[in-house]
Structure 1
Amino acid sequence: MAGRRRRQRSSNKLKLKTASRSDIPSGPTGVHQIPDHLLELVLLRVGSSVALVRAAFTCKRWRRLVADTAFLARFRSLHPAHVPGHYHVVDRPYREKPRPDGKNQVFVPDPLSSTADAIDGRHFSLDFLPECDASSAWELADSRGSLLLLYKTRSDWTRQLRFPDLLVCEPLSRRCQGIAYPPAMRLHLCFGAFLLDGGAVDDTGGCIGMSNFRVIVAVYEDVAHSRGAPRACVFSSGADGGWSLGQRAAGVPLSGFGLITYVGRTRWSRYWKMERGGVVLSLDEATAEFSLVMFPDTVVGWRDEFSTFWVIGGEDGAVRVVRMINRDLTVFAQLQGSGEWVTEKVVRLRPADIVAANERYILLTPRGETCLFSVELDTLQAESTHERNRYAGPAYPYELPWPPALQACCAADDRRPRRCR
């Protein structure tokens, strides 16, 4: 009898435990049970736009979240543009005829890029550009975002100085657009052509694309007695775009055209060295206005010496000048607000000349030699084995297009995918 009661009590306890467990609500058991707002926080921490596109192909739900305009805007605000590599100009000797294939650009992947092994270099080929005749070729002038700006050169050197034929292209989508020159400027001498962001900024953080870009061309106008003045011409894309011819900067006198040498850029301005000394010509990209800027002789070199320097800038917007002083590669920085110049970095090298420079590295050649080596600005380490050291011309960074193109279901009840950018 006592044994029967004990078995009954045990049975009752088992029933109570089973009942209590069945009352507990079931929680998430996998990634697909994570709420949308938490999944968005996870996707926002994906390292690059390439990884984000890969994540979007996981399922329709992830694709829908990634393609959302608000999500793309938040992602771009947290992650800088992804640069898989640079387009290098294969610099040719003076007056040499164009190569038989008509090309002088090569894409060099960045070995430090997180997608260096994931992107096929063939996608960056420029073999889709319009063909040129035997006496002309497309030369790279500038890059901005996912676009490249090219101009047409000709074997006749005097014709290369005139206002050039221009073309804007996007290598990954293999699209291009020719830009007809303004007839009124055809005979003016050109000393620079550059890409700018378009006037409109979309909700996803994108600011430049084949339908939204500007081109600014700097031209030299003769005034009198071998003197001239600069003028900026701006082209805007779109149905309402076209050329806008700026006023001649009569208050900015220039010496002969042959004395103007491009020496680099910062975040918002372009710079040209005109004569020996610290007088530098500056072009403000926002206003398309020219001005003369005086750099200290201690920064760019004394008036009676031949000094090579390069102007660079970074994300902080500060103006920096790189110069070789004897055997020291020196980086000067202008303090914002005060305008004071300070020595920021110094590295001792063998005697060399600066060939090109940007905010990441300096390309140099030893004096009296033809080989090249580079110095990383972050580490001040010199190396000569990188592929970029094979090309003596300037290098232009290339960013992956933004926003990325996705086949997304933007509504939960819509089964028809549509292309979202």
Structure 2
Amino acid sequence: MPSSTARRIAASPAAQPSLPDELLEDIFLRLDDGEDLVRAYASCFTFRRVVSGRRFLRRYHSLHPPPVLGFLAVASDGPFHPAEPPHRSAPAAAAVARAADVALAFLSDPGRWSVRDARDGRVLISREAAAVSGDAFEELIVYDPLHRRHIQICPIPGDLDSSASSANGIIFYEIRTLVFNSVTRKWRAVTSFAIIGTTATFRWLSCQGRRHYSCSCFCWTGYGRKEMLVLDTREMKFSVADLPRESYNQMHSVVDAEEGRLGLLILVGSRKLLIYSKTWPDNGDGLKDWQCDNVIPLFDRNWFFSSGGAEGYAVLKAVALYQNQIVGKKSDTQYFIVEIKTLMIKRLCSMKPGTDAPHYLYASFPPPLSLPSLRN
């Protein structure tokens, strides 16, 4: 007679004891690599049912940051540039490029729209003022490329727009914070900030490449400026924060640092990257609170920040030091991401030279690990 061990080995898969869904969820949550989870999803019906459940996906999203799949250029002419091999997100980026509407195909005139921001799987686009009327943002749309959903936001009323006035030859600019209520579908003014300056000052604040988001704050910085304007979205209050002296006349980017601190990456002469941080909200110490956490040497290239930090990363653009001007051939521009948590610099993709518009990182969980970020 066959032994009990032999009988157990010969038993059919249907006779094997099944694990409860809660235990399977705990096992799958320990998978750091999303590709492993996708393979588990495709292996059998039970795993597919557990992984695709909303409860599990919410738990997984709360523990694991979404992978960076590429970036979106401001110009809507082929805006999505996916991660390329050997980047670990390249397979997922290719899948998203096939499945998602990253070319704004739902618009009748996509060439007139520009990308304004991207985060949490959603993208904000606007139609340029020259294409419609004199308002800065006549039309705004938030859309989820992966799930092909979008919401059109009504125009900002003229009486709520920012304004300028003068007294005794001094120009005052009023910067207003507006909040859009998705239920009432109306804009309302929340707070404002008056600044004295020239037209160049106002253009500096409205420049997309100078806006950053960190620690629930929007920050506006500028080359050669010694301070930044900060809007704390938790209290809806404006303030002005000093920058460390090492950032003066250097390119920099505001990011999320460890332990909820405000971080600042500083490019020093294309030779090294300085990582500074400070507590936030500011404790009143100003410059004294900034501390240098690390220094990263860079290999020989001309380095630039391509956009503000987002999703725990910053984007660097690298151009060859010496281009072949004799034959008129220029090398492709290489794009790298700096992972703030590990301070590792990894190549993301390359583009043809001459693309100087700001770019926004696009991070999202690929199918089947994503959930719609917009309601119908």
Report the TM-score, using the length of structure 1 for normalisation.
0.64
The residue number in structure 2 matching 1:9 is none
How do 1:16-415 and structure 2 match up within 5 A?
Answer: 30=13, 32-36=16-20, 37-48=22-33, 52=37, 55-90=40-75, 103=77, 105-111=79-85, 112-114=87-89, 116=91, 119=95, 121-124=97-100, 125-132=102-109, 137-155=112-130, 159=134, 162-185=136-159, 188=161, 220-224=162-166, 225-237=170-182, 239-250=183-194, 253=196, 255-256=198-199, 257-260=202-205, 261=207, 262-273=210-221, 276-297=224-245, 299-301=246-248, 306-314=249-257, 316-336=259-279, 339-342=289-292, 344-347=294-297, 352=302, 354-357=304-307, 358=309, 359-365=313-319, 372-374=333-335, 377=338, 386-388=349-351, 390=353, 391-393=355-357, 394-400=359-365, 404=370
Q: How many residues align?
A: 334
The one-letter code sitting in structure 1 at the alignment partner of 2:105 is: F
Distance 1:351 1:43 in 2: 41
Deviation at 1:398, TM superposition (A): 2.8
SS at 2:95's partner residue? Answer: coil
Q: Distance in 2 between matches of 1:365 and 1:270?
A: 29
Partner of 2:326: none
Q: Distance in 2 between matches of 1:145 and 1:247?
A: 25
* Whole-angstrom distance in 2 between the partners of 1:345 and 1:288: 33
Alignment partner of 1:65: what SS? Answer: helix
Shift of 1:49: 5.1
TM-score, with structure 2 as normaliser: 0.71
Shift of 1:241: 4.7
Q: Partner residue of 2:284?
A: none
Q: 1:150 offset after TM fit, Å?
A: 0.3
Q: Which runs of 5+ in 1 are unaligned?
A: 1-17, 91-101, 189-219, 407-421
Question: Structure 1 pair 75/335, CA: closer, same or farther in 2 (3 Å)?
Answer: same
Q: CA deviation at 1:345?
A: 1.2
Structure 2 residue runs of 5 or longer lacking an equivalent are 281-287, 324-329
Between the aligned partners of 2:5 and 2:149, the Cα distance in structure 1 is: 61
Structure number with bigger Rg: 1
- Residue 171 of structure 1, CA deviation: 1.3
Q: Distance in 1 between matches of 2:217 and 2:107?
A: 31
Secondary structure at the counterpart of residue 248 of structure 1: strand
Question: Per the alignment, in what secondary structure is the counterpart of residue 175 of structure 2?
Answer: strand
SS of match in other structure, 2:40: helix
C-alpha distance in 2 between matches for 1:157 and 1:258 = 21
Q: Is the 8 A contact 1:324 1:330 kept in 2?
A: yes
Deviations 1:36-68 (A, max 9, x none): 154334333344556545534544433443344
Deviation per CA, 1:293-319: give whole Å up to 9, x if none. 11132x321xxxx44333233565433
How many angstroms apart in 2 are the aligned matches of 1:233 and 1:48? 39
Q: What is the aligned partner in structure 2 of residue 213 from structure 1?
A: none
- Paired with 1:70 and 1:158, the residues of 2 have a C-alpha distance of 45
1:92-149 CA-partner distances (Å, limit 9, x unpaired): xxxxxxxxxx63613323532356166152323324232239xx71100111222111
The one-letter code sitting in structure 2 at the alignment partner of 1:33 is P
Distance 1:175 1:376 in 2: 28
Q: Select between 174-183 and 45-54 the one with higher mean Cα deviation.
A: 45-54
CA distance in structure 2 between the aligned counterparts of 1:397 and 1:23, rounded to whole angstroms? 52
Preserved contact between residue 87 and residue 107 of structure 1 (Cα < 8 Å): yes
Letter in structure 1 aligned against 2:108:
E
